[in-house]
Structure 1
Amino acid sequence: MSYHNELGKTGELLALKYLEEKGFTIIEHNWRHGRYEIDIIASIKDTIHFIEVKTRSGKAFGLPEESVSADKVKRLSTAANAYLQKNRGWKWVQHDILSITIVNAHDPEFYFIQDVWIGAGNVRI
């Protein structure tokens, strides 16, 4: 497995632990709808969160959250809508980005941006 895939997998495992420590219940991890994937689907209280995890090993090439493109937002929105069609009943829905920078393995930096966009293509960070 290539380094960036290993880094991504490590980031997702760190994200799961981080979210659980914050009180989230993990519903799905790497949920797929056709060719689209949602990294983490979690809930807290009566809100479902569709969470994109972005991990970097430093800041030289920008912050992890800066790599979420408008196309990525559209794909995530499509997948989230498909999930909600199959799993009705959620009153509140949020799309989030969990940005992780791993400068040293023992002290990753987390930046959790909640309710990051409304609808496809309307990124607001």
Structure 2
Amino acid sequence: MPDPARPVRRRTTPAQVAGDAAEDRASTYLMELGWQILARNVHVGRFEIDIVAIDPGPPRQLVVSEVRWRSRRDFGLAEETIDHRKRSRIRRAAYALLQLGRLPDGSELPRLPLRFDLIVLEPAGRLRHHRHAL
């Protein structure tokens, strides 16, 4: 069954397909923790947010999550791909979304404290969740 929080889009390259699979796995993981996924692949201007969710806490928080994956370890850890420019883009996208006050489907964005997380998937399928990472 398609995820209603995920927009339908065509992904054609192997990297895009793998990235989508990583975001699917991250979303499933968060839902298993009891989180509510509000939206995925949210575009705000020229920026994108991978996952917008509510962590039921305590404390209850609005969480913007960046999902990273690596097909091989030869190129280093996925965490190392988040430089200050990428952090800045994620933060600007989140703050722009907060100013809009609405999600792409038109629903109201909950007024909750904001947190930035990083979810990393490794080649062997292991997942690491870094809270307050960005």
2:112 corresponds to 1:96: no
Alignment map for 1:1-125 (pairs within 5 Å): 1-45=12-56, 46-87=60-101, 90-103=111-124, 108-117=125-134
SS in 2 for 1:49: strand
Using the alignment, how far apart are the partners of 2:17 and 2:79 within structure 1?
18
Amino acid across the alignment from 1:110:
L
Identity %: 29
Bigger share in strand? 1
Using the alignment, how far apart are the partners of 1:24 and 1:92 within structure 2?
15
Cα deviation for residue 7 of structure 1 reads 1.2
Structure 1 stretches of 4+ moved >6 Å: none
Task: Tell me which residue corresponds to 1:121.
Answer: none
Amino acid across the alignment from 1:116:
A
Using the alignment, how far apart are the partners of 2:110 and 2:51 within structure 1?
19
Amino acid across the alignment from 1:79:
A
Using the alignment, how far apart are the partners of 2:121 and 2:25 within structure 1?
8
